[in-house]
Amino acid sequence: MGELIMTSAQTKQHNAKSLQILARSLFRELKQNGFDSRDIVSISSELIGLVTTDLRDQSGVRPAAS
């Protein structure tokens, strides 16, 4: 009864839009709280590092020893 069924393409589009809104909101909050562009780039780099580590842990791949 009136169920909303989204196709895979619609779901991906919805998720992409949600992520875009989240990113804009986070950026705006950071700027309003005194973070400058360099700070935001540093935060972004840290996030990418955390995601990279998480993906590596999930896949079981370990970085090569130096």
Q: How many domains does the chain have?
A: 1
Asked whether residue 31 is assigned to any structural domain, the reply reads yes
Q: Which domain holds residue 46?
A: 13-58
Asked whether residue 3 is assigned to any structural domain, the reply reads no
Asked whether residue 39 is assigned to any structural domain, the reply reads yes
Asked whether residue 27 is assigned to any structural domain, the reply reads yes
Measured CA to CA, the distance from residue 58 to residue 34 in angstroms comes to 35
Name every residue whose Cβ is closer than 8 Å to that of residue 27 and which is 6 or more positions away in sequence.
40
> 26-48 burial, b for 16+ CB within 10 Å, e for fewer?
eeeeeeeeeeeeeeeeeeeeeee
**Residue spans of the chain under pLDDT 70:** 1-4, 6, 63-66
Asked whether residue 42 is assigned to any structural domain, the reply reads yes
Asked whether residue 25 is assigned to any structural domain, the reply reads yes
Q: Is the pTM of this model over 0.85?
A: no
Asked whether residue 50 is assigned to any structural domain, the reply reads yes
Asked whether residue 1 is assigned to any structural domain, the reply reads no
What pLDDT shows up at residue 2? Answer: 55
